[in-house]
């Protein structure tokens, strides 16, 4: 969805008229042309309208995800599966569509992988996610100069599939990301960042102890450093669930390290 459609949707959800949103910012006719996609907003107009709507930029992304027809279909399939009402013919049709379209965009590829992750055990036609597919995802992420919320969420969504080398690369990249200057009150980044770091830490520990007879000390060291990064984030944005996870991660690391002494 385009930005004008997202803001229109947000306005309607608040039950506000175009006049109520645009008052003292621009004329109603100018705002109407914006919602039709015929006029762009200046940065100051955008900020004022978002304030009028009591919204953050991340809210627009949430609306896009909720109102995206394809995302809605996938959510419904997951819900139907949980309720034992899954239409297998609908699942197969959607899978074939996603398989055909997966090269069109990163969002399309994410939907394709997500459907494979959720339903590869349900239909024989749906194969498990392959190493080649994960390598492609890794390279897509690696090629970004900066990892935005969207790419942090991608890492979090598919963490269990990434290799040792992938996880180390992600951690070494994210370890350098500063968090001190980010406002914990209004930045969605600090809600996604701890999820990603937590998932990476958990996966590093799991991989480190795969061989019970020979623990991977290098991975345990990375997991310990990842705990330190998570602790740094939580000092800016205290979150009970992640504080609990951090404690559990450190207990696991100390336990496994003690086994080698």
Ranges of each domain in the chain: 3-57, 68-126, 130-260
pLDDT digits (tens, 9 = 90+) for 39-62: 888 888 888 998 898 877 767 777
What is each CA distance from 126 to 88, 155, 188, in whole angstroms? 11, 22, 34
Sign of CA dihedral 79, 163, 171, 209: positive
Instruction: Report DSSP state, residue 161.
Output: G
Fold adopted by 3-57: 434 Repressor (Amino-terminal Domain) (1.10.260)
Query: Does residue 94 have a pLDDT over 60?
Result: yes
Instruction: Report DSSP state, residue 91.
Output: H
pLDDT digits (tens, 9 = 90+) for 16-43: 999 999 999 999 999 999 989 888 888 8
* C-alpha closest to that of 163 among 197, 133, 118, 193: 133
| pTM of the predicted structure, to 2 decimals | 0.77
- Return the structure tokens found at 182: 């980010």
Say what the pLDDT of residue 67 is.
65
């Amino acid at each position: 969805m385009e930005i004008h459609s997202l803001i229109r949707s947000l306005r309607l959800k608040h039950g506000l008229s175009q006049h109520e949103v645009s008052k003292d910012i621009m004329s109603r006719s100018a705002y109407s042309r914006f919602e039709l996609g015929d006029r762009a907003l200046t940065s100051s107009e955008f900020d004022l309208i978002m304030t009028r709507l009591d919204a953050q930029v991340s809210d627009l992304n949430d609306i896009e995800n909720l109102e995206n027809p394809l995302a809605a279909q996938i959510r419904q399939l997951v819900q139907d599966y949980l309720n034992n009402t899954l239409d297998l013919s609908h699942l197969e049709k959607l899978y074939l569509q996603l398989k055909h379209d997966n090269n069109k965009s990163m969002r399309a590829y994410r939907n394709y992988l997500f459907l494979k992750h959720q339903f590869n055990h349900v239909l024989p036609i749906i194969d498990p996610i392959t190493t080649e597919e994960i390598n492609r995802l890794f390279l897509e992420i690696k090629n970004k100069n900066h990892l935005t919320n969207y790419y942090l969420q991608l890492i979090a969504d598919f963490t269990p599939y990434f290799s040792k080398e992938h996880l180390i690369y992600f951690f070494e990249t994210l370890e350098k990301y500063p968090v001190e200057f980010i406002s914990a009150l209004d930045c969605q980044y600090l809600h996604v960042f701890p999820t990603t770091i937590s998932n990476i830490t958990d996966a590093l520990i799991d991989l480190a102890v795969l061989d019970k007879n020979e623990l991977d000390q290098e991975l345990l060291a990375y997991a310990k450093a990842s705990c330190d990064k998570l602790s740094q984030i939580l000092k800016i944005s205290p979150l009970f669930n992640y504080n609990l996870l951090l404690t559990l991660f450190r207990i696991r690391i100390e336990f496994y390290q003690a086994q080698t002494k």
